[in-house]
Each structure stands twice: as structure tokens, then as C-alpha cells.
Amino acid sequence: MKKLIIAVLALSCSAAFAADPAPAKTPQQMKMTTCNKEAEGKKGDERKAFMKQCLSAKPAAPATQQDKMKTCNADAAGKKGDERKAFMKECLSSKKAA
């Protein structure tokens, strides 16, 4: 009976640790990661100034549906029929800003 209880406790503990993924990054941490990647190759005062500007920048306003439609239409130039239809569907449903 003791072995059964110990086995159940061991399984529940291991399941609890396995179910706990790494904590999600905060928006500031994601911004820091992005700015660090963009600052590659810069050194000294140039890097310091870039990081200050990058980290203090406000995020761009999300694109309106109308803006996305204009951008997608321009990008779809030359496509016709099913190819254009598929492209427009993908383009308009994407989460990225235009």
C-alpha cells in the first residue's frame, strides 16, 4: 500500500512539473530581445543610443482592415483567379501590421 501511495505521489509531482512550461516573456522582455537582434554589429555609444531609442519607441498602431486591404491588393498585382483569391485570404487574415 505504501508503494502504491509513493508511486501515485511521484507521478503527480512529475506531471505537475512537466505541465509547467517556461513562463511567457513579458512585452518588455520581447522588446529587449528584438532590439538586441537589431543592434547586432553596433558597438559603444552607437549601440547605447540605438538601444535607448529602440526600447523607448512606442509600438506602431495596428493596421486597420482598410489599410490591410490596400496593401494586400497592391501585393497581389499580377495574380489572377484562385491564386489571387488564396493570396488575399492569407494576406488579410495575417496578424502582422501592414
- Are 31 and 38 contacting, i.e. CB atoms less than 8 angstroms apart? no
In the chain, the number of structural domains is 2
Q: Do 72 and 92 belong to one domain?
A: yes
Q: Are residues 75 and 51 in the same domain?
A: no
Domain contains 97? yes
Look at the pTM and tell me if it is higher than 0.75. no
Question: Is there a domain that residue 29 lies in?
Answer: yes
Domain range enclosing 92: 64-98
Tell me the pLDDT tens digit for each residue of 7-47.
666 666 555 555 555 677 788 888 888 898 999 999 999 99
pLDDT above 90 coverage of the chain, percent:
29
Residue that is written with C-alpha cell 495575417 in the block: 94
Q: Give the three-class secondary structure for 23.
A: coil
